Amino acid sequence: MKKSMLALATLTAFAGAASAQSSVTLFGIVDLAARSVSNGSAGSLKTLSSSGQASSRLGFRGVEDLGGGLRAGFWIEGDLTPDNGNAAGMTWTRRSTISLLGGFGEVRMGRDYTPTFVNFSTYDAFGSVGVASPGNVRNRNTGTLAIGQPLGSGVTTTVRADNTISYFLPAMGGLYGQLQVAAGENVVGNKSQGMRLGYAAGPLNVSGAYEVTKTGGFDHKTMNFGGSFNLGFLTVQGVYEKSDWKTSQQKIATANVIVPVGQGQFKAVYTKSGGDVGTSAKMYGLGYVYSLSKRTSVYTNYASIDNGGTSRYTTSTSGLNTAAFKAGETSKGYEFGIRHDF
């Protein structure tokens, strides 16, 4: 009896230690909004669209303690489209990485965000999604959109990159940073090198990023820098970005404020985008978020994009008739949505 109890106690202790050393977490966001967009001559369209406040997603992440301060981790995450139940099927293209972490920092491999996108979106009060995000007038040069491509380089690294190896600095006071390289593997527009460096302490956060992507004999170069400051009663933040490819250039500057009020917060943004190929656009956006709990919120956003020259930026591309939307026209959009984190 004593031996059985001892064996049981030993097994329980071992199981407890094992569970403390490794863990796997299922997580995600479901975000849906009723959206209405008016795009000049293309007319208006009402949709139920995913990701008005945050990108809907499903993911798995885990970490194992290897001892001596060394850990292994993985992160697999894919897009959710709850408006149609992922009719196109489930993929894991948001992030698919494996890491080694320790006192030296982190070495991460796989498909991941690029440093320049992370730096730009860090200072976007609207989370790089929805009708009011400055990302709507950021250079859409991925080759998948005919609208708003002043450079038209066709690079695949505007937001994420395949086949990356990244190194992240360890905690060093308020200093943080990242180096990233992506193998091209004979895919034009995917071979890149990038970096990000910043400093965060108290209410202040400032950082800059730079990235070069090879595109068949020409380099696509992007650099940006931004900052934010929390004054308590409001947070002000902004970012400036410049992209170059061949003889073309695009510049974008955005500033926004976040004002907390009780369980909610008001947001406002102004963004200006332009280039040396006859493109220009100004965007004004407003938003409000109300937290029903720590995991659930309701929100509404509104934005207007005033295009100039040859620009055809839109507040949403969902169902857009690209042939009918003319350069220099105005795009307006609003949405009401619900977000739930799990």
With a pLDDT cut of 90, the percent of the chain lying above it is: 74
What tens digit of pLDDT does each residue of 118-145 get?
999 999 999 999 999 999 988 653 333 4
Q: Kindly report, residue by residue over 148-206, the tens digit of the pLDDT.
A: 444 777 788 999 999 999 999 999 999 999 999 999 999 888 999 999 999 999 999 99
Average pLDDT over residues 21-42: 94
Q: Say which amino acid occupies 263.
A: Q
Identity of the residue numbered 227: G
Mean pLDDT score of the chain: 89
Given this model, what pLDDT does residue 8 score? 43
User: Does the pLDDT of residue 274 top 80, yes or no?
Assistant: yes
| Beta strands 70-79; 44-50: pairing state | unpaired
pLDDT tens digits, one per residue of 217-226:
889 999 999 9
Q: Bridge-partner residues for 178, per DSSP?
A: 168, 196
pLDDT at 319: 64
Beta carbons of 230 and 203 less than 8 angstroms apart: yes
Q: Which of 266, 316, 255, 272 is nearest to 288 (CA)?
A: 266
53 neighbors 299 (Cβ within 8 angstroms): yes
DSSP 120: H
- In the predicted model, is pLDDT for residue 13 greater than 50? no
Q: Which pLDDT tens digit goes with each residue over 73-96? A: 999 999 999 999 999 999 999 999
Token couple for 231 = 């004054």
The SS3 assignment for 310 reads coil
Q: Are 189 and 215 in contact (CB under 8 A)?
A: yes
Asked whether 254 and 124 are in contact (CB, 8 A), the reply is: yes
Asked if 252 and 238 count as a contact pair (C-beta separation under 8 A), the reply is no
Question: Sign of torsion, CA 277 285 340 113?
Answer: positive
